[in-house]
Amino acid sequence: MGSRPKTEEYSSFSKYKVKSSMSNDVSSKDVSSKDVGCLDTEKVRLENNVIKTNNLIGSVKKSNKKLFDQVKKSYSDLYDENDKKVWKKYKVLVDLDESTVNKIVKIVTNDTIMRFYDHLPGSWGTLSVLTTMDENNLVEVIEEGRITPTSTKSSVMKIRDEYKDKESGSDDKSKDKESTEWVVNQLWINLDELDVSDEDRSKIQSMFDELKGYGFTIINDKESQSDDS
């Protein structure tokens, strides 16, 4: 009986032709040196571009850290609770809009964020969301790896809101709902939770004063906290 004829099979990739023999279990790829050269060139180009991009990402984050450190030092040197004129001039003169400066101040005065800075996203907007989280909750999600340098603002907000829901549920259980006193035409305000400039804050305060003239009661969140204590 004669030997079986050899068969040729082709892979789904047209540039690779695979020859296989029914008489033995040996196969080889018929790849030209040109194809190999193209593959090597693509790999090198890819690696070079990835390295350059990652280096820039790292340098941008380091630059942000330097900026944060300087704003923190400036805030410490210039901010005075009783006389904010110098600090206001600083915010006008630096090449950043006032809202951004306010965000950075919230970030740099948050010890947890600065301690874990290298493990967090570089976006100012995303970091500012983290300033609204309870410190213990923030440490927990960072150590669990739920927030990483690649986390987006929307994903961080989702985690933040998840913990806020837990906290509000806990508060409801610990408080007697029947003891809650609801007062008509009373507003409970916390301007610190709003990302507004000093100018906008002043405008809002003027509107509050006008509402008071109509009989509304405006409660500042800080005043409420001092009453509770």
pTM over 0.85: no
Beta 186-189 vs 217-220: how paired, if at all?
parallel
Of 76, 103, 74, 102, which is closest to residue 90 (Cα–Cα)? 74
In tens, the pLDDT along 96-113 reads 888 888 889 999 999 999
User: 73: left (phi > 0), else alpha (psi -120 to 50), else beta?
Assistant: alpha
Task: Report the half-sphere exposure of 47 (CA within 13 A, side-chain side).
Answer: 6
H-state helical runs in 16-93: 33-78, 85-93
Q: List the domain boundaries for the chain.
A: 60-169
Q: Is the pLDDT of residue 169 over 70?
A: no
- Decide: helix, strand or coil at residue 7: strand
In tens, the pLDDT along 2-29 reads 544 444 443 333 333 434 444 444 444 4
In tens, the pLDDT along 125-156 reads 899 999 999 999 999 999 999 999 999 999 99
